[in-house]
Chains A and B, each alone.
Chain A
Amino acid sequence: MEKKIGCYICTGCGINEALNVKTLTATVAKEQKIPLVKNHAMLCSPEGVEMIRNDMTSEGVNTFLIAACSPRVHVETFRFGTPMIERVNLREFAVWGQPDAATDKDAKEDAQALGEDLLRFGCIRVKKMNNPEPFEDPGLSKTILVVGGGYSGMTAAKGAADAGYDVVLVEKAVELGGKVAKMHRLTPANPSLPGKDGLQETGAKALCLAVETHPRIKLYKNARVKQTVGAPGLFDVTIDQAGSDTVERIGSIVVATGYNLYDPNKLGHLGYGASPDVITAWDFEQMAREGRIVRKSDGLPAKRVAFVQCAGSRDKNHLEYCSSTCCTVSMKQALYVIDQYKNEASTCVIYQEIRTPGQLEDFYRKAQNEGVVFVKGDVKQVAANSGGGVKVQVADKLLRGDESMEVDLLVLATGMTPNIDTTDPNVSSNLNLSDEERAKTVLNLDYRQGASLPSLKWGFPDSHYICFPYETRRTGIYVAGPARRPMGAASSATDAMGAALKAIQAVESISRGAAVHPRAGDLSYPSFRKEGCTQCKRCTEECPFGAINEDDKGNPQFNPTRCRRCGTCMGACPQKIISFANYSVDMIGAMIKGCEVPPAEDEKPRILVLACENDAYPALDMAGINRQKLNPYIRVIPVRCLGSVNLVWIADAMSTGYDGVMLLGCRHGDDYQCHFVRGSALAEIRLSKVAETLSRLQLDSARVRLTEINIMDVDRLPGLLDDFVKEVTALGEQPYKPF
């Protein structure tokens, strides 16, 4: 289908007063040679939209350039059923973000130049844009694989199956249920509801039965995933059940492999091993389940029980993090003691800080009200008593001194470690795992970047926890429950449902050829010109999501359904052979060169701002909406992610005559905010290598800078831009300015 571009310039919202629309129209029609240009006093009105729709039928317009307000507003108004649309943000950038044109003649001139450049960018973008063809494959499956048949796994499986999806559930044990099925009671899920603060039955039996009898759930018990080949929608998963292999075609995966408890043998300093009456919370749970809370040493009733919190948690020498559940577990177990021995019970929780998030604060109150005593302090010494039980010495922070107590049982509340294999993403992946090592992996992914999910910290799988929980760095694979982060049963159930919904969203989006997130609905995906490839492997190494495999010769093999469309591969490629239908090195390069840079003697610098679409661009936009003054010399080009910035664009900008280039993107590092995890970090690394090139061009490396910004930095942003413009102009004349 031939492309027919229509450009529509809105003159409302002060655009007509601030800018010379006639000149703008001429820029599009004459200079950029897009003959169909129309103005409207209020493009977002029904009449304005009607005008565009009429052109669709009468003129055959199928590609739209809307020069009006921000692309973040009127999204629905200007939706014409095609991705072939570009919005030029005249209002926020060239009108509201500039001084009042009526009173300031210079400002008017600058705003006009800015408006024209923005339109040039838009024209070039639509001219270079192609309609993305969605990825299709006849073999796409919508079946969801759940790994792990514990509380989270069963909840996820049942949730997805109830929603009408076929589910394959793999459980390594002979029976379903996991750890929760072996527990006595659960802490209440909603203790703030009246009458709901008591301990709950686990409900594991009923859940197991529901899963086992569900017509949509295919169960593999006593089984494990031997290998996962392929990509979302097209996974071929080999399931090893008691030695015999079955291959299932899978759409997306929920990993709910739960947790392990920290090894108590490392807790000698808390008395583990000093007496049989020092036990773990898990052992205590089993005792309570059997209904016999007794001393291990002599079998006498254990009426005096102390619980030690943070046993091997929040401790540099053990687990550095808080497992968030131990406090409530100990309260629950103290209530077991009170339940069994009533008035004779004497329970005490030795803690650092009580952590009872959310409604669990009401459960804390419940435990206090039932008479559980809380002691803030450190266990200093534990010794076995000759007559059974133990003597505990505590450095009591509330009484400010050493205190000792005698108890029948000392229970260590140990923390959780994820029961999932992960790899440090900063260590290059070991592609030659031994069979033994492969057997230890949960999914054994056949990915270029390794068999395991990348970790963030402490072995938990990496994900963008703020914006996209459940997500891992492998598209279509979602982790739920304590395998993702330490959590209790109630949170795991919520988590499992969330992950199940993401898994469903993944198979549905993939069936339409669309990206899942963060570019939900994006139909484009990268393609590459194989003859240009030098097998440098940068794309396969740098893709944050392991989307690209390699063939025997080292050529990249794209897996479109693994891709999140960030363009990090495009930014990485030194040969510039990777591109999307509607986003390419050539397109942005042409836009950069399309800016009309005034000669040096005009003393009007030009600064190129490559702004991340996710946070930086909205922040710039909001500054405009708030009528904050944006420096008139900046030229903003939004990019999918700073990871997609190819260094050739810096060279393009310099040879065009821009005085400086600013990359505005998200924070990177351990507490990254980059929506594509590694994009901004990679941009920083690449940029650190550009200094040499710049000096070869007789340019100061201070002309190029990456600034981390988040969406809340609106007030800081205009000053930041002004400062950069000032610094760059102070460097003197840019030698590549046009004459």
Chain B
Amino acid sequence: MAYDLSFAKEVYKTSEVGYWIKMCMQCGVCAGSCPLGPHWEHSPRQLFQLVRAGKMEEVLKSDSMWMCTSCYNCIVRCPRGLPITHIVHGLARLAVEKGMADPKQPTRRFAVEVFWDNITSTGRVGEAGLTMKLYFIDGIGPGIQRGLEMKNQALGMLKTKRLNPIPFRSKIKGFAGFKAMLDKAFELEAKKESNA
């Protein structure tokens, strides 16, 4: 049965800025503004209506949320002022929490397996290390293949000093403070979840 509101009400309450979904008027400006629009399984507009229609599986198993590059085009253009980028990221997180996100989704793997460790271990992004880890995520063979494919770009970036070749970076100044901030954020999140 469609339009049972229990899933929608859950999203409004627990997903990050999910309550904004109520305000979507289905004009489709977000879909038309998204540079990756044609590659999405569902446009933001469709995702939002699916939420309201109570189609939990379709929403949380969609790979659309993972396709967002946070360009903010949709936010800028939404006539109803919805923070679409944030809503979409919130839905991605809800999918992970509910265990419904595809573990093999590349963006998800990049975020969870590569990016997060890279940035939290030193407090900054180490490009060379990040790239290497991403290339070799599926083992040595595919890693070498990807590396060769991108060889010219990498050399070009090195030449123009757009890439720091040292794979392991030192920690930032005041790393302890950064760590404390992260811990606090985790604490707040946990609190929010236990309240939900």
Contacts and interface: CB of A to CB of B under 8 A. Distances in A.
Interface of A: 343, 346, 348, 354, 364-365, 368-369, 371, 373-376, 394, 396, 398-399, 403-406
Interface of B: 1-5, 8-9, 12, 22-26, 45-46, 49-50, 52-53, 55, 80
Given A399-B50, A403-B53, A371 B5 contact: yes
A348 B23 contact: no
A376 B80 CA distance: 18
30 contacts: A343-B9, A346-B3, A346-B4, A346-B5, A364-B25, A365-B23, A368-B23, A368-B24, A368-B25, A369-B23, A371-B9, A371-B12, A371-B22, A373-B3, A373-B5, A373-B8, A375-B3, A375-B53, A394-B2, A398-B26, A398-B46, A399-B2, A399-B46, A399-B49, A399-B53, A399-B55, A403-B2, A403-B3, A405-B1, A405-B2
Contacts of A376: 26
Contacts of B1: 404-406
Contact of A396 (B2, B5, B22): B2
A375 B49 CA distance: 8
A374 B9 CA distance: 15
B49 A398 contact: yes
A369 B49 contact: no
Nearest to B52: A373
Nearest to A394: B2
Given A373-B52, A399-B50, A405 B25 contact: no
A368 B48 CA distance: 13
A369 B22 contact: yes
A348 B9 CA distance: 14
Contacts of B4: 346, 405
Main secondary structure of the interface of A (DSSP, over half): strand
Query: Which of B9, B22, B25 has the most A CB atoms < 10 Å from its CB?
Result: B22
Given A398-B49, A399-B53, A404 B2 contact: yes
B33 to A, nearest CB: 18
A394 B1 CA distance: 11
Interface-central residue, A343, A348, A376, A394, by most chain B CB under 10 Å: A348
A403 B52 CA distance: 13
Nearest to A391: B1
Nearest to B80: A365
Which of B3, B52, B53 is packed against the most chain A CB atoms within 10 Å? B3
Nearest to A346: B5
A369 B26 CA distance: 14
B3 A348 contact: yes
B20 to A, nearest CB: 10
A376 B53 CA distance: 12
Nearest to B12: A371
B1, B45, B52, B55 interface centre (most CB from chain A within 10 Å) = B52
A405 B53 CA distance: 10
A67 B51 CA distance: 74
A374 B49 CA distance: 9
A399 B46 CA distance: 7
Given A373-B8, A399-B49, A399-B53, A405 B22 contact: no
Given A399-B2, A404-B2, A405-B2, 9 more contacts: A368-B24, A369-B22, A376-B26, A396-B2, A396-B53, A398-B26, A399-B46, A399-B55, A403-B53
